[in-house]
Structure 1
Amino acid sequence: MNRIKVLLADDHTIVRNGIMSLLESSPEIEIVGEAGDGAEALAKVKDLLPDVLMIDIAMPVMNGIEAAQEVSKYHTHTKALMLSMHNNEDYILKSVEAGAYGYLLKDTTRDEILRALQTVARGEKYFSPSVSHIIVSSYLQKVKETEKVKSKKTKLSKKEKAIVRFIIDGDSSREIAEKLNLSVRTVDNHRANMMKRLGVKNAVELVKKVQEEKLA
């Protein structure tokens, strides 16, 4: 069985020693090197070709998120696994965006570290439960905000609703203009604006969209 080659990067020697003492008894893990900052970690990734770079976030010279981004771009054979004391949304989401394959908190157990290393080494994602909760919550919030924006975009004014009802009845722009005491040009402008906002190309699609989403 091939051992998982791990490079440790943390600016505190005592932390690196602690992690090594936790992992050295595992027959499937090989600690191939260590680094005290992000720049040193990148140099050693290039030389040592580890399977996993286990890296802290807050470090001098280059932080862990910047290093993870460089690894994901230029050293795809190595997967970045963040190991941090920071359990906040900003760090977690920035790590994910940077291409990190996992995120663990420093108070995690040896078993979870091993599980994370095995998962990430296979090219799969691993996030501790509390971190996963933050990622999912952030995603759901973005979906909610997107739906809110979409709802605002597709909301029709009172005049637009009146025009689209006549379009549904099959009236022409001239007929609608006469009924609403508007110019034909104004009716056509409203029609064009509604089609643009709703992402449709013609009156048939406009009617279908309005009826499906019950906008009028």
Structure 2
Amino acid sequence: MNKIKVLLADDHFIVRNGIRSLLEGLTDVEIVGEAQNGAEAIAMVQELSPDVLMIDIAMPVMNGLEATAQISKQYKQTKALMLSMHNNEDYILKSVEAGAYGYLLKDSTRDEMLRALRTVANGEKYFSPSVSNIIITSYLHKVNKPDKPIIKKAKLSRQEKAILNFVIDGLNSREIAEKLELSVRTIDNHRANMMKRLRVKNAVELVKKALDEKLL
């Protein structure tokens, strides 16, 4: 079994050590290195090619948002999972814009951390329900602004709408498959078809487009 190669980036040793202690001993995870700032993180991503970069936002020299934006463009094999103490709308939305695959609060449980790590390593987005709600609320505010131009609506099937509602609730493909009693492949195919039809690149953009066009 191939292990998930993880790089930790945080300017506080005690935080890195705490995360390492949570992940060490797992049969499917290997911590390949630690960085103290965004510049170090970029250099180590280039050298080590980790699957997942768990990176803090507020760091000296170069912050996590700047590093993530660069890594998401230049080293696409590495997926960034943001770590933050702040359930802050601005940080969350800027993380999405920078290309982060997930946003995890530092007070999350070990189970949620592992779920986020494995989800992101699998190439899927992970945002906890509270973080997803902030993203969706932000887009709802934009949708409800006055004088918004009328946009031609696309159409979604009943099953696609059900899947999209679960995406909004923060569920991943496997969890949605269990809810609807379908295979993970079927869920992934529906998601891919919706993203292709609506011309979006990821789940967050898919939710935004669906809300913009009032498809739900």
Shift of 1:41: 0.4
User: What's the RMSD between the two structures over aligned residues?
Assistant: 1.0
Shift of 1:48: 0.4
Aligned equivalent of 2:43: 43
Q: Distance in 1 between matches of 2:140 and 2:72?
A: 26
Aligned equivalent of 1:6: 6
Aligned equivalent of 2:149: 150
- Specify which structure has the higher proportion of helix: 1
Please list the CA deviations of residues 156-204 of structure 1 after superposition, one character each: whole Å capped at 9, or x if unmatched: xxxxxxxxxxxxxxxxxxxxxxxxxxxxxxxxxxxxxxxxxxxxxxxxx
Aligned equivalent of 1:211: none
Q: Distance in 1 between matches of 2:68 and 2:101?
A: 9
Structure 1 residues not aligned, in runs of 5+: 152-216
Amino acid at match of 1:150: P
Please list the CA deviations of residues 76-111 of structure 1 after superposition, one character each: whole Å capped at 9, or x if unmatched: 000000011011100000000000000000000111
Q: Distance in 2 between matches of 1:74 and 1:143?
A: 32
Counterparts of 1:75-154 in structure 2 under 5 Å?
75-145=75-145, 148-150=147-149
Q: Distance in 1 between matches of 2:97 and 2:90?
A: 11
Shift of 1:149: 3.0
Shift of 1:11: 0.2
- Give SS of 1:119's match: helix
Q: Distance in 2 between matches of 1:141 and 1:65?
A: 24
Larger radius of gyration: 1
- Give SS of 1:148's match: coil
**TM-score with structure 2 length normalisation?**
0.68
Amino acid at match of 2:97: E
Aligned equivalent of 2:64: 64
Aligned equivalent of 2:171: none
Structure 2 residues not aligned, in runs of 5+: 151-216
Q: Distance in 2 between matches of 1:71 and 1:107?
A: 25
Counterparts of 1:161-172 in structure 2 under 5 Å?
none
Q: Distance in 2 between matches of 1:139 and 1:123?
A: 23
Number of residue pairs aligned between Structure 1 and Structure 2: 150
Q: Distance in 2 between matches of 1:2 and 1:110?
A: 21
Shift of 1:140: 1.0
Shift of 1:25: 2.0
Amino acid at match of 1:60: P
Q: Distance in 1 between matches of 2:45 and 2:76?
A: 10
Give aligned-pair identity as a percent. Answer: 74
Amino acid at match of 1:142: K
Amino acid at match of 2:113: I
Q: Distance in 2 between matches of 1:143 and 1:131?
A: 19
Shift of 1:148: 3.4
Shift of 1:150: 2.9
